[in-house]
Structure 1
Amino acid sequence: MSRSGETEYDSEVDIDGLLSDEERADRQTSTGEREQPATAADTETSGGLRSRLPSPSLPSPGLPGFSLGGLALSLAVCVAAFLAAGVVVPLGGVAGLVGVFGAAFLLGLLGRGRYLELVVAGAGTAAVGALLDQLLLAAVADIAAPLAAISGAAGLLVAVIGCYLGRDLRAGLTQSVG
């Protein structure tokens, strides 16, 4: 450190490369003049740290309409409904699927259900629930993979149907007659 109160900088660190274009334009040079904004060629080579980080508010580029927040909501509602249906409805393994259907229907009715998020949540909840329900049988008889695949497919199917019916009912309730 310098005794004059100035901070020393590592000469190998490119400060301008870490700054965004707006911060770079606002930064003053040592002579008091404003720096010129970067050109398109400059931003392609050193886009700044913020441009390199993924934005959490944007959906995944390959999956339109998919968000982690929506997946978390769908998963939480599906798991809660799966557990509640297993306690209330005495139908064995089918009760969990009834719960997933009810959760997807409710989310579709409220306008919060997106197919892709509900498919992932419903299939995952049903597959894991079936494995945990039949844990001893799955471990001893070596049927864990087929059991998870069948339960996951059933969960996927009931989630899609539930979301579709919930959206259909919501559309029918909100549209004017005539």
Structure 2
Amino acid sequence: MAERTEERTRDADASGSDLGVDIGESESAESEVAVGESHTTESAVEDADTKEDGSYFSLRALLFAFGAVGGGMVLGGLIPLVPFTELLGVLLGGFIYGLLASERRYLEVGLAGGISGGVTAVLSFLPQLAAGLNGTRLFAIAGGVGLVLALVGHYFGRDLRDGLTKDLG
């Protein structure tokens, strides 16, 4: 059992150096092997994997979400003479991101949809804001609608992806 633990630790150290894992984590795993706590070492390696892969927020995913939502808003804005098509573009962008992303990223997509919807509404009604329209309330309402639409789109995109990748047998 101790040989298997040392082997897993070596594998984790070898893969960790390529990914830029902190040296402190690998040193703690080595010290636990020296003590002989094989169960603790296995859980430490698994905890390091979940911290790295299961993070709740990713800046890279947020940038991709802004790109998807922004692209959907541009496509929605190309429809002439129909109001609020940019908001349907937020739904489309969230759907496409959910369809293409390998992980669930509701936080990033919701944030991108809310901010994009709010900013677009404020910029669209800029002359009315100078005349006395409350910009904070406008941003909050449009941001809330954008957040909900992006989350709904992401949910249905994830659902379709799950249905397409599930085994039928």
Q: State the TM bucket, normalised to the shorter chain.
A: 0.5 to 0.7
Q: Conserved in 1, the CA contact under 8 Å of 2:68 and 2:96?
A: no
What amino acid is aligned across from residue 136 of structure 1 in structure 2? P
Alignment counterpart, residue 160 of structure 1, candidates 144, 151, 159: 151
Unaligned runs of 5+ in 1: 1-19, 23-57
After superposing on structure 2, the runs of 4+ consecutive aligned residues of structure 1 that deviate more than 2 Å are: 88-91
**Cα distance, 1:169–1:90 mapped onto 2, change above 3 Å:** farther
Larger relative contact order (CA 8 Å, sep ≥ 6):
2
Equivalent of 1:66 in 57, 68, 81: 57
Residues 89-117 of structure 1, C-alpha deviation per residue, up to 9 Å, x if partnerless?
5422x211111100100010112561000
1:100 equivalent in structure 2? 90
Correspondence list, 1:19-168, <5 A: 64-88=55-79, 90-92=81-83, 94-112=84-102, 114-168=105-159
Q: Deviations over 1:33-76 (max 9, x none)?
A: xxxxxxxxxxxxxxxxxxxxxxxxx87xxx93311111111112
Q: Tell me, in whole angstroms, the C-alpha distance in 1 between the residues paired with 2:92 and 2:82.
A: 15
Give the structure-1-normalised TM-score: 0.61
Q: Gaps (5+ residues) in structure 2?
A: 1-21, 25-50
Aligned partners of 2:97, 2:120: CA distance in 1, in Å? 20
Name the aligned partner's letter for residue 94 of structure 2: A
- For 2:123, give the aligned amino acid: L
What is the aligned-residue identity percentage? 34
CA–CA distance in 2 between the matches of 1:169 and 1:89? 29
- The Cα shift of 1:21 comes to 8.2
